[in-house]
Every structure is written in structure tokens, then in C-alpha cells.
Amino acid sequence: MLLSKFGEKFTCHSGILSLMDDLGNALAGNDHMIMMGGGNPAHIPEMEDIFRQRLQCILDSRNQFSRLIGTYDPPAGDQDFCRELAAMLRRRFGWKLTARNICLTQGSQTAFFMLFNILGGPTRSGQKRRIQLPLAPEYIGYSDCGIGEELFAAERPDIEEIDAHTFKYHVNFDALNVNRDTAALCISRPTNPTGNVLTDGELERLNALAKEHDIPLIIDGAYGLPFPELIFTEATPHWDEHVILCLSLSKLGLPALRTGIVIACEEVIAAVSAMNAITSLAPNSVGAMVTVDMIRDDSIMTMSQTIIRPWYEERLAFACREFKRALGEELPWAMHKPEGAMFLWLWFRDLPITSLALYERLKQRGVLVVSGHYFFPGLKEEWQHRHECLRVTYTRDQDTVRRGIDIIAEEVRKAYSETLTK
């Protein structure tokens, strides 16, 4: 098969594909695998009950059921949902939005693919414009989204050492190079993989930079504000005329309904809607119909705060305690301050083997995590730190998490002791 350049790019072995394949294959072959690798949101029974009841109401109404399965929405998605969401955001935060500032996509991953390529890449005049990621590590799902080459640029962060075993990444504003080739800034807040939440101060500075250069600031709020609010620290929701805020229903517990939400100026919304029409005619209606009532009465926010966030917070506290117990005081390990999302990001300083080798050893022992080296899209320079980190998902039951953590600690200890005895 003779492939186009586009075909080659999107069918070659991308990082996200190999990661998803590897996780899937390892699981398919072994029921006993301890899964601490994926980004699937938890199945929270209380939330599932709420979604089931809502679906039942739709099924019980002939009109609503017909709409659910039998009608194409407009290219911007379900307008009832967009109107209600704009009203909720006006009511709660005073953001000056109408339905024309909102459109839906098939999951927020699709929104990023569209936005990055609408804004970045070669222009008609031959300029090559980049998406600047102010912070690395960043979400692996961005990496292969560019139709052209080298769409992303990223900088090393500053590392704040909070105590012997805790650190936090900050944007290195001195290194951040915004110039006429910068098409947009993009950050995930909270960040996948690190659980970092950019401070309000950092966000304000990025906002000011974007405004000064008249470029969009894309905020990926898949885990963030105002829902599902997987944030365990102080953080203020933010939107502005040049901000493109991308939300998702996935981490509320609805990843299979593929609903992404873009909130931006009308020009951006018109562009994404036009691309929706070309690539898929219309986005999926199911997520919007299942959640519109929760938006109308703001309960999507209270449920996030009273059901979803505490569920993750409890598991996070357990996993942190277990890591401290298992890794102890002597080893040079550190954990990124867990401020949000559903991952722990571990840093093993001067680890004698790469994080990929550690991942392989753990897989042999029946524990699946993700090697940190994947999560540096756009970072050109070599950096040892990149090969010293692991991303660990902590959402399984306590017994499984404890067993997984014990095995991780054993393998890390073994790796360090190998060099000592060499």
C-alpha cells in the first residue's frame, strides 16, 4: 500500500499507540497483572447509579429516546447542552459566554488534534508555527497530533524540592521562548502524568504572555475545573477571550461516551465546528443528553466535589502512605506533590537503569506502570531526568495497590543495589 505522508505519519508506531497496545496486550495475556498503568477513570458506583437513572429517564421518554439514537446534532453539538453550560459558567464564574462560545467533539483528544492543527504547522506564507508547551513533562496524547513535523516545543521545568521525598515542577519563565512562530501555548491543569496543578500565579503569567503575543492559551481541563475537579489544592477556574478551555466528560466516569467540550471565542468555535462537520458530520449526542440536567442545576459541580474528588483523594492518601512505607528513607526517591488527576509521578534520582528498563522488569513481575520517558513531547535536549521517572495509577483496591507498591519498591531497591555491588 502506497501511503501519503499523512498516512505514514498516522499509521507509523506512535508513542501513544505503542503505549496503549502494550498495556492492552499485557492485560489480555494475564488476568493477574496488577494494573497501575492506565488512565481509565474509576467506576464509582454512586456516579454510575446517577448516570443509569438519567439514561433510564431518557429511555422512558419516546421523544428523548428518538433524539438519543436517531438525530444528527448540528456540527457544534447539542445546542441545549451548550446553552445550559454557558449559563452555568456565567452563573458560577461570571464568564461572558453564550452557546456560540461552546462546541462539542468526540472526546477532548479529538479537540486537541483539531486545535493543534488549525493553529500550528506551516502557514500559507511558509512560516512554521509551533504549539509551545510551557512545562515538560506533559500529556503523551499531544505528541503525535501534528499533521506536520515538529509541531511542539517544550522547555525543562524548574524543580522545587519541597522535602527529601517531595518535589514540584514550575514553569521556567526565563527559558520560555514565545516568538512570532508560536501559534499557541498549551498546558494540562492538572497535568497528566505528574498530578501537578499550575499555580494561579503561573496561569496569570501565561495568560498575560498569550495576550501580549495575541495567541491562544489552551487549557486542558480534562481532570480539572469546573468538573470533574480532581484537584487537591487551591486553584481558580480560568477563562478569557483568548483562552481555549477544553473539558471532557471522560473523567466524570463517561469515557466511552466520547464527549469533549471546547470553550473559546466564537472564531475558534466556528473553526472546530467546521472541522467536526468534515471529519464526523456531528459529535456524539449521548454524553450531552445524559449530563445536561446536571449542568442545568449545577449538580455536576457538587457531585465532582462530594463524590468524585473524595473517592480519588482517599485512594491517593493510601497510595502515598504505602509508597513512603515501602521505599523508606534511604533510597534517593521523590514523588511529585500530588495536587490533582489520578497519578503519582515518582522520580528515582541517578537510577542506574532507565525507566523503560524498570518498566520491563516490573512487567515481568506482574505490575504494569508507565515509563516516564514518554511524557516529554517537544523537549529536544537530552535530559537524564526523563529516564528516571515512572507514572503510577493508584485507583485499584487497597490490597492490589499495596502489592503493586511492594513490588515496585523491591525492583527499585534491586536496581540501585546492582550498581553499588558492581
- Rule CB under 6 A: which residues touch ligand PLP? 39, 107-109, 139, 141, 188, 192, 220, 222, 248, 250, 255, 260
- Measured from the CB atom, the residue of 312 and 333 that comes closer to ligand PLP is 312
Q: First and final CA of the chain: distance in angstroms?
A: 50
Cβ-closest position to ligand PLP: 107
- Measured from the CB atom, the residue of 199 and 353 that comes closer to ligand PLP is 199
C-alpha Rg value of the chain to the nearest Å? 22
CB of 22 to ligand PLP, least distance (A): 16
CB of 111 to ligand PLP, least distance (A): 8
Q: What is the DSSP letter of 12?
A: S
* Angle made by CA atoms 21, 190, 55, in degrees to the nearest 5: 70
Strand partners, 263: 102, 245
Q: Are 228 and 44 in contact (CB under 8 A)?
A: no
Please state, as a whole number, how many other Cβ atoms lie within 10 Å of the Cβ of residue 294: 21
Closest of 401, 386, 293 to residue 344, by C-alpha: 401
- Measured from the CB atom, the residue of 39 and 75 that comes closer to ligand PLP is 39
Give CA–CA dist 103/260, Å, rounded.
8
Closest of 269, 262, 254, 203 to residue 231, by C-alpha: 203
CB of 246 to ligand PLP, least distance (A): 7
CB of 414 to ligand PLP, least distance (A): 31
Which residues in 63-119 belong to E strands, given as ranges?
A: 102-106
- Measured from the CB atom, the residue of 262 and 409 that comes closer to ligand PLP is 262
- Measured from the CB atom, the residue of 41 and 404 that comes closer to ligand PLP is 41
CB of 222 to ligand PLP, least distance (A): 4
Which residues in 182-258 belong to E strands, given as ranges?
A: 182-188, 217-220, 243-248
CB of 341 to ligand PLP, least distance (A): 7
- Measured from the CB atom, the residue of 250 and 285 that comes closer to ligand PLP is 250
